[in-house]
Structure 1
Amino acid sequence: MKQGCKRISALFLCLALLAGPVRAATIWGYQEGLALTEENGLWGYSNVQRQLVIPIRYNSATSFRLGLARVEENGKLGIIRTDGTLLISPAYGTLNHLYSGLYIAQLGTRWGIVSLLPFPDGQGGTTQILYDFVYDSIVMATMGGLDTVILSRGTQQTFLPVYQITDLMLSKQIPSARFPLTQDDLPNFSDVSPRDWFDVWVDIACNVGLMEGVGGSRFAPGQTLTVAEALQLAAEMESRQTGDSFHTQVHSDTVWYRPAVNYCQASGIISANEFSDYERPVTRAEMAKIFAATSLAKSMADRNDISQVKAAIPDVKAGDYAADAIFSLYAKGVLIGSDSKCTFRPNDTLTRGEAAAIVSRMARAEQRVTLF
C-alpha cells in the first residue's frame, strides 16, 4: 500500500517517472516549477531536470499560474493542476477565469459559468455548472463603479456584481469559497525562483492571504517555522473559515503573536499552557496537531482511506504524539509526506516553504491529493 504515494510524483518533481530527459522538444520558460514543452505542435510540461512530467498531448497550453493551467485537447479547453490531474475536463470552446476558480465557459453556441470544484447539485449528486449553458453571452463590465458579470439571454439580463460572488459560492457550498484565488495577484520574491518546487505553494499561500514575505522582498522559504507562526496561520484559517472578525482586526499587542495564541486557545485549537516557548521551532507533529484542530480541517471530507493511510506512513503509528491528527491530514489530502514512501518525519522542524505547501492544500481543495 505504500506504493500509493507514488501517485503524487508531479508534486515531488524529482519523481518524474513518465519519461526520461526530453529529446527533440523545445522547453520554454519555467513557472511554478514546470516548463511548457512543445514537440511537433503538441504541448506538455517538463520539470527542472528536463523530465517530462505531463505528457505531450495538448494542442495548446498555458504556463502554470496558482497551480493551474489551461489546456486544449481536440479543440476543447480544460484546466489541469501541476500533477496533470484534470480539474475541468476539456469540453469548452472558451474558458476564461472569472473569479476564485469560476470560469466563463462556452459550450457550442451557448454560455455558462463553471466551477473548478464540484459542489452539491441539490439532488444528491455534484455538479461543476454554476450557471447553466442557456445564455447568449456572458461578459464583464463596470456598472456604477462596480465590476459586474452580465449574463444575457434574449432580451433578459442578469447582473452579478463581483463582490457578491463569494457569498454566492458559499450559498452553493462551493469548497474553498472563503479562500478565493485572485488570478492576477502573484508575489515576487527575490529568494523564490520559478524553478523552485515551492514556487507554486508560495504563490497560492500568498495569493489567498495566509502568508507573506519577511521583508526586503524575501519570503525566506528555508527559514524554520516557529510555534508562534504556526498558531498565527491556524488562527487565520480558523477565522476565515468561521467567518468571524479576527483576521480583519488590527491587533496592537506588544507581543505580536499573543492575539493568535489567545484566539487559538479560545477556539479550542490548543489548550492553555500547551506551549511554554512560542518562539522555538515547531515540530511537524505539533504543526499537524494544531492545523488538524481548526474548523477548516474538520470540515474537509476524506480523500484517502484512513486504514490505508495508517498502513502507509512508515514513521507514525497509533498512540504516537499527534498520530490521529497526522493520519487525519493525510486522509484529507493535505499531508503527502516528504518522499515516495509517505514518510512524515514527525520530530523534524518545518520550513516556511513546506508550510506554504500545507496551508495551500488546506485552503484550496483543488490542490488536495489522492494518494492511493
Structure 2
Amino acid sequence: MKKKRMLRLPCLLLALCLLLGGQALAAPEGATVWGYSEGLAQCELDGKWGFVDAQKKVVIPLKYNSVVSFSLGLAAVNLDGKLGVIRQDGAYLIQPEYGTLLPLDCGLYVVQKGTRWGVASILPFSDGQGGTTNLLYDLIYDSATITEQGGTRVLTLTRDGEVTKIPVFDLPRILVEKGVPSARFSLTRGKLPSFSDVSPRDWFAVWVDIAYNVGLTSGVGGNRYAPDQTLTVAEVLKLAATMESRYKDDSFHTSSSTGPYWYSGAVNYCLASGIIQSGTFTQQDYLRPATRREIAQIFAATSQAKHMKNINDLAKIKASVPDVKPGDAGADAIYSLYAKGVLTGVDSKLTFNPKGTVTRAEAAAIVARMARAEQRLALWGEYNPNVFAG
C-alpha cells in the first residue's frame, strides 16, 4: 500500500526536485528539523533556515535568516533582513524586499518599504497600462494598520492626514473588480481543517487545506477527510458545479439542491452549463467511481478551466505524457489540464493512468490548483506568476 501511495504522489515533489537540479539532498548533518506543516518542516543550521520534506530531504535551501511554517501553501521568509512570501517549491510570490509584511485575507499582505506603506497581492494583475503590478494599494501611505471596529476587521490607510478605511470583508469584491486571478476563490487566513486522518507530513495536506479553505471540499463526518476514498461520478459533478457557480457568481452554490437524488441539482447544473452533455452518463453511472479520464473531461469543460492560461508547453505535454495519445478519448482535456499546471500525473514520468480512479486527496489537489493560480505547477521551468496577469 505504501508503494502505491508513492506512485500516486502528485508531482509537486517532482517540481521541487527539478528546481534543485534533480535529486533532492538530505538535510545537512547537525541541522535541526522543526515541526511539519502541509508536508514541509522548517530546517535550521548555523542560523540559516529552509525547508525539508517528510523524508528530511531539502526542498527549499537553507539560506534564509528566518522563516515561518507553511499555511495554505504560503510561507513568509526573511532574506538578509528583507521579507517576502514563497510557495512550496521556493518560488517567490512576493519578492523579499519589504521591511514589514503583515498577512491579510485573500492572499494580501500589508507591506512597508522605507517610510511608505501599501498592500501587496501574491498574484499580479493588470496595472491598466499594459503592464502588471502586485500592489493593490501603492506604496504611498504614511501608515497601514489592521484594527477591529464593531466586530469588523478594518484596513486603515493614512496619507497626509487623510484616512481611508476598507472593511476586510470587502476585499474579495475589490480583487474581483481589479481582475486579480483566483479572486472568486479567496483565501481566508486561519481557516484550516484539523482532520484526524490528514497528517502534517502528508503530501496532500496542503491541497486539503486549500480546497477546504476556499470552500470546495469538506470532511465525511467524524472529523475525517477520508483521503484514500474514491470519488464517484456524482461527487465529481458536484465539485465541478460548485466551482462553475462560484466562478460565474451565480446562485447554485448557495442554494439547496432539488431533485430525487442528492446530486440531481449538480447534474442538471452541469448539463445546463455544458460541462456534460445529455447521455454522457446514465443514472447507473453516477454512484460508480469516476475514472481519471472522466474527471479531466469534466473539469476541463468548466468556464474556470477554459479561461486559465497555459504555463506548460502544450506540444511538449503531448510528447511527454506516455499513456495518452492524440485522438484518444479525452486526450485534449487531459493535455489541457497538464498545460495549465493542474494535472501532473501519478509518477515522475507524468503518467496519467486514464482508466484509474481518483481519491479524495487527489481531487483536493486538482481543485486547489484550479481555484488558486499561485499553486499551479510549472513542470519544466521556473514558476512565473506574471503569466496569470491579464
Same fold (TM over 0.5): yes
1:166 maps onto 2:172 in alignment = yes
Work out whether residues 16 and 53 of structure 1, in 8 Å CA contact, stay in contact via their aligned partners in 2.
Answer: no
Quote the residue 1:46 is aligned against: 52
In the superposition, the TM-score normalised over structure 2's length comes to 0.91
**Using the alignment, how far apart are the partners of 1:6 and 1:182 within structure 2?**
23
Structure 2: runs of 5+ lacking an equivalent: 1-10, 381-390
1:23 maps onto 2:15 in alignment = no
1:242 to 236, 244, 248: 248
Structure 1: runs of 5+ lacking an equivalent: none
**Using the alignment, how far apart are the partners of 1:311 and 1:273 within structure 2?**
32
- How far residue 7 of structure 1 moved from its aligned partner, in angstroms, is 8.2
Q: 1:171 to 1:6 in 2, by over 3 A?
A: closer
Work out whether residues 15 and 379 of structure 2, in 8 Å CA contact, stay in contact via their aligned partners in 1.
Answer: no
Q: 1:159 to 1:6 in 2, by over 3 A?
A: closer
- How far residue 120 of structure 1 moved from its aligned partner, in angstroms, is 0.5
Quote the residue 2:207 is aligned against: 201
Work out whether residues 17 and 23 of structure 2, in 8 Å CA contact, stay in contact via their aligned partners in 1.
Answer: no
Quote the residue 2:131 is aligned against: 125
Quote the residue 1:323 is aligned against: 331
1:67 maps onto 2:73 in alignment = yes
Work out whether residues 21 and 49 of structure 1, in 8 Å CA contact, stay in contact via their aligned partners in 2.
Answer: no
- How far residue 163 of structure 1 moved from its aligned partner, in angstroms, is 2.2
Which string of whole-angstrom CA distances, capped at 9 and with x for unpartnered residues, describes residues 300-351 of structure 1?
1111111111111111111011100011111111111122211111110010
Work out whether residues 18 and 55 of structure 1, in 8 Å CA contact, stay in contact via their aligned partners in 2.
Answer: no
In the superposition, the TM-score normalised over structure 1's length comes to 0.95
2:352 to 344, 348, 357: 344
Which string of whole-angstrom CA distances, capped at 9 and with x for unpartnered residues, describes residues 84-110 of structure 1?
111111011111111111110011111
2:118 to 96, 112, 115: 112
Quote the residue 1:309 is aligned against: 317
Work out whether residues 236 and 247 of structure 1, in 8 Å CA contact, stay in contact via their aligned partners in 2.
Answer: yes
Quote the residue 1:292 is aligned against: 300
Work out whether residues 317 and 335 of structure 2, in 8 Å CA contact, stay in contact via their aligned partners in 1.
Answer: yes
Quote the residue 1:192 is aligned against: 198
Which string of whole-angstrom CA distances, capped at 9 and with x for unpartnered residues, describes residues 214-246 of structure 1?
001100000001100100000000000000000
- How far residue 209 of structure 1 moved from its aligned partner, in angstroms, is 0.3
1:79 to 85, 101, 108: 85
Matches within 5 A, 1:126-165: 126-165=132-171
Give the residue type in structure 1 aligned to 2:370: M
- How far residue 11 of structure 1 moved from its aligned partner, in angstroms, is 8.5
Q: 1:216 to 1:254 in 2, by over 3 A?
A: farther
2:235 to 221, 229, 238: 229
**Using the alignment, how far apart are the partners of 2:259 and 2:50 within structure 1?**
50
Which string of whole-angstrom CA distances, capped at 9 and with x for unpartnered residues, describes residues 158-178 of structure 1?
111222211110111000000
Work out whether residues 9 and 16 of structure 1, in 8 Å CA contact, stay in contact via their aligned partners in 2.
Answer: no
The SS at the match of 1:269 is: coil
Quote the residue 1:278 is aligned against: 286
Which string of whole-angstrom CA distances, capped at 9 and with x for unpartnered residues, describes residues 165-207 of structure 1?
1111011100000001111010010110001100110000000
Give the residue type in structure 2 aligned to 1:195: R
1:264 maps onto 2:302 in alignment = no
1:367 maps onto 2:343 in alignment = no
Deviates further, 140-149 or 122-131? 140-149
Quote the residue 2:183 is aligned against: 177
Which string of whole-angstrom CA distances, capped at 9 and with x for unpartnered residues, describes residues 260-282 of structure 1?
00000000000112111100000
The SS at the match of 1:166 is: helix
The SS at the match of 2:229 is: coil
- How far residue 143 of structure 1 moved from its aligned partner, in angstroms, is 3.5
Q: Let me know the Cα RMSD of the aligned residues.
A: 1.8
